[in-house]
A and B are shown apart, each in its own frame.
Chain A
Amino acid sequence: MDPTRRGLLATAAAVTTASLAGCVGDTDAIGPYEPDGESGGATPEEMTASPDEDAVAETAIPIADDQLPVSYSLETLRGEVIDGGVPQDGIPSIDDPVFEPVADVGDRFRADDPVFGVVREGEARVYPQSILVHHEIVNDEIGGESVAVTYCPLTGTAMGFERSGVEFGVSGNLVNSNLVMYDREDESMWPQMLGTAIEGPLEAASLREFPVHWSTWSDWQAAYPESTVLTEDTGYVRDYDDDPYGMYNPSSGYYREDSDPIFEPLRTDDDEPPKRMVLGARPPEGPLSIDHETLADERLLEIDHGDATLLAVHDRSIDVGHLYRNPDGETFELEDDRLVDADGDSYEPGEAPLKRVYVYDAMWFAWTGFYPDSAHFG
C-alpha cells in the first residue's frame, strides 16, 4: 500500500476508532510503541503431546525425527488461533512457480529490496519479498526435492520446509500473528514459526526445516549470480509493486521497528521494540534469540547457553547470521569476511567445520510470544 493511501486511511479511521473503542483491545497502542511491562494472556506450558505413530508412518510429509520445542500446550495454542480475515487459500500459494536467471531481471528490483534466498542441492533460488507478501507460500522443487518456501509478513519470518510432493496452503488463520499453514494431504494445521502441527492427524509432529536467508537483492545477486529468480508469472494478478502492510525500503508502516503488532501476542516482552529483528534458534538447551543488529556489529559472538557453547557468525556478503555448536570451544577469528581457525584454515561464514544450528529471522514480539522463556543475546 502506498504511504498516501495508508496515511489517508489512518486519518479517516481515527474518527471511526472512537466508535470502536469498546472493541479495540488497546487504543493506546495507536502510533509508536510504548513499553508498558504487560504480558499477554496465554500461560506457557511445555508441550507434552506426541504425534500419532500411525499417522506419521502413513503421511508422505517428511517428519522430523525429533519434535521441535513448543512452549504451550496444543490446547492453549488452538484456543489462541484467530481468523485472519481471509478464507482458506484466500491468500493463494504459488503452486507452479516460474523462475528466470538473475541476468534477465533488469530493473525490476531496487538494490535494497528484501529477498529470500535458498541454496540447496547446489541450486540457488531467490524469492522476492514483494511477491511472497501476496502469496506467503511457494510450493517449489529445488534440486529435484519438493519444498515449501514460506513467508509470514506479520511476524517477519521466512522458513523452508521439506514436503515430498504434498502441497501447503494458507489456512487464513493466525496464531501469535503467525501464518497457520495447512497441508493439502489431510489438513493438519501448522503454525509456520513452530514448524509443528497443533491440530489434525499429524498434531504434535514437526516438519523438517531448512534455512531461507533474508537478504537484499544487491547482496544476493552479487553472492549468487547464478541464482534463478521467482517471477510475477504466478497464475494470479496482484499489484506486486504494492505491499499492503508497509515498506521495508525504507522501513515504514507495519514493519516499523517501534510499531505495535495488530494482534495481541501470546506473551509480551518489552526488552526490545516489537518489530526488531532477532535471530531465533531452538537448540535442545532451550530457545534463544540474538539481536540481528548486534551480531552484524560484532560479527562473531561466543554464546554460553545452558551447557552448550555456541558460535554465532555474521555473513556480511548477504547480511545473515549463522549459528554453530562449538562444544570444544574452538577459537575462530574473522579475516577478510572469512572464518579462520587456530590452524589457519579459513572457511566461508556459512561453512564452518561445526554442527550447524537451524536459525531464522523473526520480529521480537513474535519470537518472545512463542518462546517466552527464550534466552536473549542483544
Chain B
Amino acid sequence: MIAVTKTLPERIRVRVRDTGQASRLAVSRLDALAVAGLVAAAYLAGYLWSTDRLSVRAGLGGSVTVVDEPLARAFERTGQLQFEPVALVDLWVVRLLVSPIDVLVGATIAGLVGLNLALAYLALVQPRSCGLGAGAGAAASVPALLSGTVCCAPVIVIALGVQVSGTLLTVLPWLLPLGVVLLLGSLVYVGGLVDTENGRRVS
C-alpha cells in the first residue's frame, strides 16, 4: 500500500468539508439541534444582558418607544461593535433596548457558540471506538466560553474595578473579533472529530 500525503490546502479543504458535514449533522439531529438552539438562545440573552441591552426588573409595565428616524440611528456606532438602539421595549419584567445591529452581532456569535457546543455534544455522545474521549468536547467548549467573556470585556473591567493599562486598552477592541476567530477555529477543530457516518441516528 502506498501512503498518500495530502498537501496543506487539500487538508484544509477536507477539514472544512468535514466541518460542513458535521454542522449539517448537528442541525439534522433533534438532540444536537436542541443543544445548539438552547445554547444560542441563552448566549444571546447573556450577551444582550452583559452589554446593557437587556435587563430584568419589576414594575416596568408594557410599552414600546421608537426613536425618530430609526434607520439612520441604527447605524450610529456607540462602541467598537455596538450601535445605537432604535427602540425601548418594556415587557413588564424585561426591558430591551433594541439595536438591530447589536442583535445581529450577538446572534451571529450565539449561533457559532451553539454550533460549537452542538458539535462538542456530538463528539461526546459518539462511541469511544471512534477514538474520542470526553476531553475533545471539553476542549471544543473552551473557545466558546472564552468568547463569552471577551464579548463584554469593557463592561467586565468596569464591574471588576481593575485599573487597566494601555496594553489592555489596545487589546480590548480586538477581543470580540478574536473570539469569533477562535469560535470558527474550534468549529473546524471539533467538526473534524465528529464521525458523520456513524453519528447519524434516527430521532
**Interface residues, chain A, CB within 8 Å of chain B?**
1-2, 5-7, 9-10, 12-17, 20, 22-27, 29-31, 82-83, 85-87, 89-92, 235-239, 241-242, 244-245, 253-254, 259-264
Contact = CB atoms under 8 A, between A and B. Distances in A.
B171 interface: yes
A104 to B, nearest CB: 18
Given A2-B55, A23-B171, 20 more contacts: A1-B158, A10-B156, A10-B159, A20-B168, A23-B165, A24-B163, A25-B163, A26-B162, A29-B161, A29-B163, A85-B173, A90-B77, A90-B78, A92-B84, A236-B84, A242-B52, A244-B155, A245-B158, A253-B158, A262-B163
A244 B163 CA distance: 17
A262 B67 contact: no
A177 to B, nearest CB: 10
Nearest to B89: A237
A356 B166 CA distance: 40
Contacts of A87: 77-79
Contacts of A85: 79-80, 154, 169, 172-173
A253 B155 CA distance: 12
Contact residues of A: prevailing secondary structure = loop
B163 A16 contact: no
Given A13-B149, A82-B166, A85-B172, A239 B95 contact: yes
A227 to B, nearest CB: 25
Closest CB pairs A-B (n = 4):
A25-B165, A23-B168, A13-B156, A9-B159
A238 B97 CA distance: 7
Contacts of B162: 17, 24-27, 29-30, 260, 262
B79 A90 contact: yes
A25 B164 contact: yes
A262 B87 contact: no
18 contacts: A2-B55, A9-B152, A10-B159, A10-B161, A13-B156, A23-B171, A25-B165, A27-B162, A85-B154, A86-B78, A87-B78, A237-B66, A237-B85, A238-B85, A238-B88, A244-B158, A253-B158, A253-B159
A8 B138 CA distance: 23
B68 interface: yes
A26 B163 contact: yes
B4 interface: no
Contacts of B52: 1, 239, 242, 244
B129 to A, nearest CB: 35
B128 interface: no
B159 A264 contact: no
